[in-house]
Amino acid sequence: MTDPKDLNERHLRFLYFVLLFAGFTANWATGYDSAIMNSVQELGFWNKYFGYPVKDQLGPITAMYSLGALCSKRSSRYWCSYSSTLLEAPEKREEAREAREVKAEEEKKKESKKFKEAEERVAKVEEELEKLKKTVEEMVKKIEKMEKEKERERPEGVSTGRLGWVWEVLVAQRGHSV
């Protein structure tokens, strides 16, 4: 959609006018081509050459030039760009090649920088992971130490198996150890 502010620019109004004229010209040309195709179908040698086509065959034959235009529309911009580089002076082609190489080198540097940043982030995460492992190991050691202290507090003959929890409940209810 056209921005209303564009209509305030003189050069853009001129561009829209030229494009409008170009669009009408393209439609007029297509109409002329269609008229020629329909006229040629009345000629006897044309019918003989195409084997006296019937209605179902005349449609695709008539639309062939439009289908060719539609198919070429997508690739034509690449061909135009390529052909314009061939028509440029050799020094301009060299400048363009150097500019592409410089741009590719800059892209490589950006990628290299991103890769280094990613490696640094990975290294930081690995350091944090090591710190967390050490913290977990310390906590496990503290828990094991606390369990050993609880084992020492229990009197002999009290099992730490299935009924060990019963002893802990009784001790907790009385508020002291036996």
Q: Is the pTM of this model over 0.75?
A: no
Kindly report the backbone phi and psi dihedral angles of residue 87, in degrees, each rounded to the nearest multiple of 5, phi listed first.
Answer: -80, -15
Distance (Å, rounded) from C-alpha 120 to C-alpha 169? 52
Give the pLDDT score at 89.
Answer: 62
Mention every residue, 6+ apart, whose C-beta is less than 8 A from residue 34: 62
- The C-alpha atoms of residue 66 and residue 77 are separated, in whole angstroms, by 18
In this model, does residue 144 exceed pLDDT 80?
A: yes
* Residue closest to 153 by CA, chosen among 171, 173, 174: 171
Higher pLDDT pick, 150 / 141: 141
Better-predicted residue by pLDDT, 148 or 73: 148
Asked whether the predicted pLDDT for residue 83 surpasses 60, the reply is yes
Alpha-carbon gap, residue 25 to 19, rounded angstroms: 10
- The predicted pLDDT at position 127 comes to 95
**Residue 143: per-residue pLDDT:** 86
- Confidence at residue 77, expressed as pLDDT on a 0 to 100 scale: 63
Over residues 30-67, the pLDDT tens digits come to: 677 777 877 888 888 888 988 888 888 888 877 777 77
Pick the more confident residue, 70 or 112. Answer: 112
DSSP track, 111-141:
HHHHHHHHHHHHHHHHHHHHHHHHHHHHHHH
Amino acid at 98: E
Main-chain phi, psi angles of 76, to 5 degrees? -65, -35
pLDDT of residue 9: 75
* 162 pLDDT higher than 60: no
